[in-house]
Amino acid sequence: MIGISQLAKSFGGRTLFEGVSLQLNPGSRYGLVGANGSGKTTFLKIVAGDEQASDGQVNIPAQSRMGVLRQDLSLDDDQIIMDLAMMGDAEVWKLTQDRARMLEANEADGLADLELSLKNAGGYTLEARAGSILTGLGIPAASHRMPLSSLSGGFKLRVLLAQVLLGGPDILLLDEPTNHLDILSIRWLEKFLAGYRGTALVISHDQRFLDNVVSHVLDVDYGTITSYTGNYRRFADEKKAIRERKETEVARAEKIIAEKRAFVDRFGAKATKAKQAQSRLKQIEKIEVEELADTSRREPLFRFTQERPSGKEVLELEKITKAYGEKHVLRGVTLTIRRGEKVAIIGSNGLGKSTLLKIAVGELDADAGKVKFGIETRVGYFAQDHHDLLPDMKTSPLDYVWDARPSEATSAIRGQLGRMLFSGDDVTKPIGKLSGGEAARLIFARIIVQKPNVLVLDEPTNHLDMEAIDALITGLKAFEGTVIFVSHDRHFVSELATRIVEITPEGVRDMPGTYAEYLQQLGDDHLDADKVVLKAKAEKSGDKANGGSVAPKGLSWEEQKKRKNRLASLPKKRDKVVADLEAAELRKKAIQELYAEPTFYTNTKNTEIERIDKEAKEVSARIDTLTAEWETIESELAQMQLAEG
């Protein structure tokens, strides 16, 4: 258990949070959310003991083991991957090292006791446990005995995560653990955390991950940290409802005060009304109006417009092949992207998703194959390592964006920067001082003023907070051009994609439709690595070894699209029923909370109680009806999918 009492943190004259009192319990998983710069990482560092609080205290039992995934730690490139992972269980690792030293020195004295201690501590399963975690995080067994330098930066962070998880900590602190994880590895981590019995505190901007993992949400906002019970979706609904209720209460109080003040101003000087005016003044003094703190959350505005539309055929990739040394990442990939599509490129890390985008935009040469953009295409590119797109670190945001559109007036460029949350001195400070989220928004500002009709985006959400991600989704949905993107964020993919292209070891699986429809067509949730491997093996005989498109049942792209359109109505109907069901359940909860208020039955009129009782019965009946309707739709949908084979 972690006890937090009256915690506060300030930097100079700025207070991140204060008056924070929380109790974090074993068996609970807490998602720490908030805007970029609100203090999430600072709070985690204080709990980890890496940073001092300005006030208050954090109490952690002395014997508790703590595992911390930090974003700013580095590992030794010369060390073996397996050894680095095994170091996570510090006690057992030390015993294994002591044993190895004694055996090398032929020291028999005390060896038997050491062997017993090693056995009791689970030392003989250490390598197997480490291997299981590494494999779950997407690092293949063939790499486990290789030096860390053989891995890319994203995979190195996975080794660090494996090290943290292996230690069996009582308290787990994870700062953006899903960064650089592919969809399968994220699913593995979700399952791991679901079975974790200690206290977990996780910072993440991945809404789907938080919905699947956390039991509570800690919201860093309004200058404090507030705890909510439930996953991210429930938190968002509850926070919005609470804020709206408070704003309504404030507005009502201010209206009453204004009405009484108007009476005093009008009749206060009249002797016949003086007593009544004084009475109203006293009433005004008794009315308390809560002062609502300003939220730290800010939402940028992504407004993508085209200079002119492109031709119908936007991009043709013909038999694209690429290898790095002996490692082949792409084999004969052939795709045609059409105007207006929002194409998600998904798949496990290391299979060439980012490489394919780089080849498409000319940042990298293919070993074989052709890239052809269509008539009137104008491309805006966002790189995964987006700092590669930034110029001299001394350049200002204003000059960087203006350089892309020198014919625009200064006011227009400043206006665009303002929509990306750059204001005042922010537009002239050096780019080198920007945070990851600020740098990402700046690159989008430059892309927007270029007015492209094709957007090629490689992991665009990695450094954005949730408000910015949702704003980006809104902007891209409204964009009339073409979007081709790589993302591991399932919320982002689910909201945006109209076509899914999955890069697999056996080839390319190309299907029109949303991500939800894609998962339905696959026949499983596609996030279980074992199922995917089995399914891939079952389909292998029908796949093209050169990486060409894998079309289920031999149907053409157009035929698949027609089939998807026929199946589209049921999922949409189901989603509406589920939304109505959730709304009804929220109303039922609100009514139950009314009943639980101590003064409800004494202060509420009988007519109002009768009305609420009637509504409660109607809501309960509606929940039963919607639940039955939902089950019917799911059953019908499953039968249709089975018929499709």
| Rg, C-alpha atoms of the chain | 29
Inter-CA distances, 516 with 353, 459, 491, 493, 520, Å: 20, 20, 11, 9, 6
Taking the C-alpha atoms of 527, 531, 533 and 535 in order, what is their torsion angle to the nearest 10 degrees?
A: -110
**Residue 538: pLDDT over 60:** no
Residue 536: per-residue pLDDT: 38
Q: According to the CATH classification, is domain 301-378+454-556 in 3.30.2130.10?
A: no
Residue of 498 and 436 predicted with greater confidence: 498
**Residue 298: pLDDT over 90:** no
**Residue 117: pLDDT over 60:** yes
Strands 199-203 and 313-324: unpaired
Q: What is the pTM of this model?
A: 0.67
Closest CA to 182 of 351, 301, 63, 408: 351
**Residue 448: pLDDT over 70:** yes
Q: How far out from the chain centre does Cα 43 lie?
A: 19
What is the pLDDT of the chain when averaged over all its residues? Answer: 83
Where along the chain do its domains lie? 2-229, 236-286, 301-378+454-556, 392-450, 571-644
Strands 224-229 and 216-221: antiparallel
The mean pLDDT of 403-432, rounded to a whole number, is 89
Residue 91: per-residue pLDDT: 85
For 556, residues 6+ apart whose C-beta sits below 8 A from its C-beta are none
The mean pLDDT of 517-535, rounded to a whole number, is 54
Class of CATH domain 571-644: mainly alpha
Q: Are 31 and 213 in contact (CB under 8 A)?
A: yes
The mean pLDDT of 521-540, rounded to a whole number, is 44
Q: What is the pLDDT of residues 349-380, one digit of tens each?
A: 778 888 999 999 999 999 999 999 999 999 99
Residue 361: per-residue pLDDT: 93
Closest CA to 408 of 453, 376, 448, 452: 448
Query: What tokens does 644 get?
Result: 């499709």
Of the pLDDT bands very low, low, confident and very high (cuts 50, 70, 90), residue 272 is low
Q: Are 17 and 219 in contact (CB under 8 A)?
A: no
Q: Per this entry, what is the length of the chain?
A: 645
Please tell me which of 322-336, 355-369, 384-398, 528-542 the model is most confident about, judged by mean pLDDT: 355-369
| H-helix segments, 343-384 | 353-361
Residue 102: per-residue pLDDT: 83
Burial class (CB in 10 A: 0-12, 13-18, 19+), 489: buried
The mean pLDDT of 80-103, rounded to a whole number, is 87
**Residue 4: pLDDT over 70:** yes
Inter-CA distances, 612 with 252, 331, 592, 615, 619, Å: 22, 65, 10, 5, 10
**Residue 528: pLDDT over 50:** no
Closest CA to 181 of 139, 137, 244: 137
Closest CA to 463 of 205, 220, 232, 209: 205
Beta strands in 339-494 (DSSP E): 342-346, 368-373, 379-382, 454-458, 482-486
Q: What is the pLDDT of residues 56-85, one digit of tens each?
A: 999 999 888 888 887 666 678 888 999 998
The listed CATH number (3.40.50.300, 3.30.565.10, 3.20.20.140, 3.40.50.1000) that belongs to domain 2-229? 3.40.50.300
Question: How far is Cα 98 from Cα 425, in angstroms, rounded to an integer?
Answer: 57
For 282, residues 6+ apart whose C-beta sits below 8 A from its C-beta are none
Query: What tokens does 498 get?
Result: 């109209």
Q: Do domains 2-229 and 301-378+454-556 have the same CATH topology?
A: yes
Residue 470: per-residue pLDDT: 92
Unique residue bearing structure tokens 């003044």: 281
Angle at 150 between CA 178 and CA 461, to 5 degrees: 25
For 127, residues 6+ apart whose C-beta sits below 8 A from its C-beta are 82, 86
Residue 639: per-residue pLDDT: 59
Residue 71: per-residue pLDDT: 66
Residue 65: per-residue pLDDT: 87
